[in-house]
A and B are shown apart, each in its own frame.
Chain A
Amino acid sequence: KQEVTQIPAALSVPEGENLVLNCSFTDSAIYNLQWFRQDPGKGLTSLLLIQSSQREQTSGRLNASLDKSSGRSTLYIAASQPGDSATYLCAEQGGSEKLVFGKGTKLTVNP
């Protein structure tokens, strides 16, 4: 059974700090891994998608890495801002084509 775990469940940092969110998965036949942002009561916004053949993707202040051998992905946020406050979800897509989500990390960036 595919499982995705995100650590920590919640994180609070001061504005300007660089931070790393962690995601681990059990599926060895991963197709891709995706990071999402979810604001309270809202839907999902896709941030970055890493194909299984890739090691990282970057978009602005965000950088996501993928290490299939260890079953881990990280989302690095540089120079965090209060507007980055949200829940960040990672989701793994394996051979079954289904997305399996972690529970998310709730990030609070304090001004």
Chain B
Amino acid sequence: GAVVSQHPSRVICKSGTSVKIECRSLDFQATTMFWYRQFPKKSLMLMATSNEGSKATYEQGVEKDKFLINHASLTLSTLTVTSAHPEDSSFYICSARAWLAGAQETQYFGPGTRLLVL
């Protein structure tokens, strides 16, 4: 089955620093990847859609200058949280879109990255 990895799985940083999270599709190519954010006891919220070779599409209310997304290859998308603050602490999950046999499209999710900003 399709596997998506994320690195790091957990990161603690000081306020004001930038943090980069990687999302990789390990055994398939993904022209489209998605970044989600999950708050405690809340739904996963889509932050942005990452398209290989072009600019990401951000959801309403998500600051594109705050959350930089780069989808430089068909297997890697990165999310950089710039000048992180404590309110950015959250669980970030990526997914990659793939087409199964029979042209059934689905998303495969990474294991998530826990960010804690002190």
Task: List the interface of chain A (C-beta within 8 A of B).
Answer: 4, 34, 36, 41-46, 49, 51, 89, 91, 98-104
How far apart are A54's CB and chain B's nearest CB, in angstroms? 11
Give the distance in Å from the alpha carbon of A70 to the alpha carbon of B39 in the complex. 29
Chain B residue contacts of A4, Cβ below 8 A: 43
How far apart are B68's CB and chain A's nearest CB, in angstroms? 20
How far apart are B77's CB and chain A's nearest CB, in angstroms? 15
The residue of chain A having its C-beta at the shortest distance from the C-beta of B94 within the complex is A43
Interface residues on B, range: 20 to 34
How far apart are B62's CB and chain A's nearest CB, in angstroms? 13
One of B41, B95, B108, B112 near A103 (C-beta < 8 A): B41
One of B106, B111, B112 near A49 (C-beta < 8 A): B106
Chain A residue contacts of B106, Cβ below 8 A: 34, 46, 49
Task: List the interface of chain B (C-beta within 8 A of A).
Answer: 6, 34, 41-46, 49, 91, 93, 95, 104, 106-112, 114
One of B6, B46, B91 near A99 (C-beta < 8 A): B46
Give the distance in Å from the alpha carbon of A36 to the alpha carbon of B43 in the complex. 12
One of B42, B43, B93 near A43 (C-beta < 8 A): B93
Chain B residue contacts of A104, Cβ below 8 A: 43
How far apart are B61's CB and chain A's nearest CB, in angstroms? 13
Give the distance in Å from the alpha carbon of A100 to the alpha carbon of B45 in the complex. 8
